[in-house]
Structure 1
Amino acid sequence: MDDGGKAAMSGEAPGGGPVGPTGSAGSAERDGLAALFGDRRVMAILRGMPAADTVALASRAWDLGITAVEVPARDAQGMEALRATVRAGAERGLAVGAGTVVTAEQVRAVAATGAAFTVAPGFDPEVMAASEEAAMPHLPGVATPTEVQGVLRVGGRWVKAFPASVLGPEWISALHGPFPDVRVVATGGVDGRNARDFLAAGARMVAVGSALADPDQVPLLAEL
Structure 2
Amino acid sequence: MTTDPISGLLGSRILPVLTVPSEATAAPLADALMRGGAQAAEVTFRTPSAERVLKAMTAHGGLAVGAGTVLTPEQAERAVAAGARFVVSPGFDAEVVARCRELGVPVVPGIATAGELMCAVRARLDTVKLFPAEPLGGTSMLQALAAPFPRMRFVPTGGIGPAHLPAYLAHPAVLAVGGSWMATAGHLERGEYEEIRRLTADAVDRGRT
Q: TM-score w.r.t. structure 2 length? A: 0.85
Q: CA RMSD in A?
A: 1.7
Report whether the alignment pairs 1:81 with 2:37.
Answer: no
The equivalent of 2:191 in structure 1 is: none
170, 179, 190: which one aligns with 1:208: 179
- What letter corresponds to residue 200 of structure 2 in structure 1? V
Contact 1:54 1:81 in 2 (8 A): yes
Pick from 109, 116, 121 the counterpart of residue 152 of structure 1: 121
Equivalent residues of 2:18, 2:41 under 8 A apart: yes
Query: SS of the residue aligned with 1:56?
Result: helix
Give the residue type in structure 1 aligned to 2:23.
A
- For structure 2, the 5+ residue unaligned runs are 188-194
Residues 85-123 of structure 1: per-residue CA shift (max 9 Å, x gap): 11112xx3x321111111111111111112111000000
What TM-score comes out, normalization by structure 1 length?
0.80
Q: CA deviation at 1:211?
A: 3.8
Q: Which of these residues, 126, 148, 151, is aligned with residue 95 of structure 2?
A: 126
1:107 aligns with 2:76: yes
Partner in structure 1 of residue 156 of structure 2: 186
Pick which of 43-52 and 210-219 moved more.
Answer: 210-219
Matches of 2:12 and 2:141, distance apart in 1: 21
Q: Distance in 1 between matches of 2:92 and 2:181?
A: 23
Q: CA deviation at 1:83?
A: 1.3
The alpha carbon displacement at 1:125 in A equals: 0.5
Alignment check: 8 A CA contact 2:22 2:53 kept: yes
Does structure 1 residue 40 correspond to structure 2 residue 12? yes
Report the secondary structure of 1:195's partner residue: helix
* Structure 1 residue ranges (4+ consecutive) displaced by more than 3 angstroms after TM superposition: none
Q: After TM superposition, list the pairs within 5 Å mapping 1:8-23 onto structure 2.
A: none
> Which residue pairs with 1:6 in the alignment?
none
Q: In the alignment, does 2:4 pair up with 1:31?
A: yes
> Secondary structure of the equivalent of 2:155?
strand
C-alpha distance in structure 1 between counterparts of 2:166 and 2:150, whole Å: 20
**Aligned partners of 1:170 and 1:201 also within 8 Å:** no
CA distance in 1, matches of 2:165, 2:18: 17
In structure 2, how many angstroms separate the alpha carbons of the residues matched to 1:223 and 1:181?
A: 26
- Aligned AA for 2:118? Q
How far apart, in 1, do the equivalents of 2:127 and 2:133 lie?
15
**Cα drift, residue 52 of structure 1:** 2.2
Contact 1:70–1:97 (CA under 8 A) maintained in structure 2: yes
Higher relative contact order (CA 8 A, sep 6+): 2
The DSSP-based 3-state class of the residue aligned with 1:188 is coil
- Indicate how the Cα distance of structure 1 residues 34 and 182 shifts in structure 2: closer, same or farther if over 3 A, else same: same
**2:202 counterpart residue number:** 220
Work out the CA distance in 1 between the residues paired with 2:85 and 2:12.
Answer: 16
Q: How far apart, CA to CA, are the structure 2 residues paired with 1:104 and 1:195?
A: 32
2:152 counterpart letter in structure 1: V
Give the distance between the partners of 1:222 and 1:193, measured in 2 at CA: 13
Partner of 2:190: none
Q: Distance in 2 between matches of 1:141 and 1:65?
A: 25
The aligned length equals: 193
Q: Distance in 1 between matches of 2:171 and 2:145?
A: 10
